[in-house]
Amino acid sequence: MEVALVSLLILCILHSGSGLSLNYYDKTCPNYEVTVTAAVKQAMATDNTVPAALLRMHFHDCFVRGCDGSVLLDSTSNNTAEKAGPPNVSLHAFYVIDNAKSAIEAECPGVVSCADILALAARDAVALSGGPTWKVPVGRLDGRISRASETSLLPAPTSNFAQLQQRFNQLNLSVKDLVTLSGGHTLGFAHCSSFQNRIHSFNSVNDIDPTLNPSFASLLRKACPANNTIQNAGATLDATSKVFDNMYYKMLLSGMSLFSSDAALLTHPKTKGFITTFANSQEAFNLAFVKSMLRMSSLTGGQEVRLNCRTVR
């Protein structure tokens, strides 16, 4: 039944006027998908941080001007690009998209957009980390505008529930999408700065966020002391941070989440219900994640197909 709903959602996206299609490149570049997967696999063989990086990169692309590859553009002498915005300075693994693009350009010049390559790479990152796979509708165009100032549109790790809900509503994404896409935090690592507010000087009464598990908070304080000067200090987002699973939700219910934005999901009965469902069922999370990724990645807004993902034509 759930698989049928995913298929129905894909059909709705294909007929929504987004311009996306499952056979968009069938005649012009039939091997595009295999080529992207090969680039992701090659990068993962030497760098196990790649899956989390690609998934986060896709999220950050879609939440600013839609999924148009604008996050891939480099800054120029007269423009500071999204890459340089405060939430994006820790993004990495852009070389994976560059490698996939170069391989595709050698076979099908000027056909496949960077935005599509990123959407496919994010899907592969999930699937190759033990998560679900899905058909990615393609036909996105690449955007020509990329402004660091617009990264303020990205949900912050310090956001409360109302702020998160408002931003998702602006993109026609539901509170279920909010909880589900937050599950992307099952992969990766966070620097101290993104959760320092919960473990030092939380408020005028408590030094530590009282919703944090005390033992977990103690571990975080050891990794990130108040006077921390180690640039790469931080913590993994969950206990199995290289595997796409539902551990994030289990830890969230146990008071062992990193971000204020994670803990905020427990403050609303509806979202807490979704968290409990996903913590109890990997299958339920996987199916919901596919549907939410399809909805998010159908946010389009580009104008061209770039020849180089880092520069406009």
Instruction: List, by residue number, the catalytic residues.
Output: 60
Residues annotated in the binding site for heme b, as ranges?
185
Cα–Cα dist 31/67, whole Å: 22
Residue 261 burial (CB count, 10 A): 22
Residues annotated in the binding site for substrate, as ranges?
155
Cα–Cα dist 35/107, whole Å: 10
> In this structure, are residues 35 and 100 in contact, taking their beta carbons and an 8 Å threshold?
yes
For the packed helices 161-170 and 175-182, what is the interaxial angle rounded to 10 degrees?
110
Residue for token pair 């996050």: 71
Residues annotated in the binding site for Ca(2+), as ranges?
61, 64, 66, 68, 70, 82, 186, 238, 245
The DSSP secondary structure of 115-145, one letter per residue, reads: HHHHHHHHHHHHHTTT-------B---B-S-
> In this structure, are residues 235 and 224 in contact, taking their beta carbons and an 8 Å threshold?
yes
Cα–Cα dist 54/41, whole Å: 12
